Amino acid sequence: METILENFDDLWSGGDPVTRQRFFLRTITPMIVSVTCYVLFVELIGPAIMKNRKPIQMRKLMTIYNFSLVIFYLYFLFRGAFFIPVLGFNFICGSLNENETPIIPEVFDLGYQLYFVRYIELLDTVFLVLSKKNNMITPLHVFHHAIVPVFGFFGFRSETSGYLAVFMALNSIVHIVMYTYYGIAAMGPEYQKYVWWKKYLTTFQITQFFLMTFYLLIMSSIGCITSKLTFAFSFFLTVLFFFLFIDYYRKIYNRGEKKSEKNGIYKNGTYKNGIPEAYKNETKKLE
């Protein structure tokens, strides 16, 4: 039994030795406690507290919050781009060794910043609970927010190659678009006419997971140096989210378009008043 536990521990104790000693990564406890408290609050505690209370007006806070995340992800992409001329693209498929390349600690530090921000993003749902926008808190929303810190923990604890940098870059681009959308939506009803493109944001998210799955298959086929644990976890999540977002798209937009056609809003391939009814329903949730 002791040997089995030791072997299991080795699976998620092979990452960068410096990064493994940082907060949220030194032990599994902070991650487990944070994710558990998040799920309990948004599913049980928060709704119970707000049940007989008026919604807390958080429009300004949510606007600042969303655009601050846009700024961070822009910083992440620009900062990461400076590593490419030094490292090239060989680091994606090989092991990162700071003895060979002194800039490696900075690469892991930037990755850790992204990992830490994932915990800040949990506030997104907390704000929705406090403002009583419970119709926006779907199982997919909660699961997506909760599982990312879990994946990040095992990724940083076990992975020493750079292939996840492609994941981070693509996901950052998606988050820039996503938080721009939510930032504009949070500004108030007068800005709703600028957020008619939620459908295309969801399509972009689906495309992201398709590209990630395809990328993982390529990494596997050419024999990249990766952690087996992280690789398996990555592949499972990308495939799972690909189908979950497709299901979300089908339920929200296909249903909305059929309802619009039935009500005579959709005629000859165009919508009256310029904005599809499904988009209006989505943006109303943000008001």
Instruction: Give me the active site residues, please.
Output: 144
Q: What is the dihedral of CA 75, 238, 120, 286, to 10 degrees?
A: 100
Distance, in Å, from the CA atom of 280 to the CA atom of 197, rounded to the nearest integer, reads: 10
| 187 residue type, one letter | M
Burial 199-224 (b: 16+ CB within 10 A, else e): bebbeebbebbeebbebbeebeeeeb
Q: 270-271 and 266-267 as β-strands: parallel, antiparallel, unpaired?
A: antiparallel
Q: Are 141 and 75 in contact (CB under 8 A)?
A: no
Rounded CA-CA distance 206/41 in Å is 28
Count how many residues are written for the chain: 287
**Per-residue DSSP letter, 254:** I
**Angle, helix 277-284 to helix 255-262, in steps of 10 degrees:** 120
Can you tell me whether residue 13 is helix, strand or coil? coil
144 closest CA partner among 165, 169, 166, 174:
174
Residue 246 to residues 76, 144, 250: CA-CA distances in angstroms? 28, 14, 6
CA dist., res. 205 & res. 245, Å (int): 8
Cα–Cα distance, 219 to 208 (Å, whole number): 16
CA distance linking residue 68 with residue 26, whole number of Å: 27
CA distance 141 to 248: 10
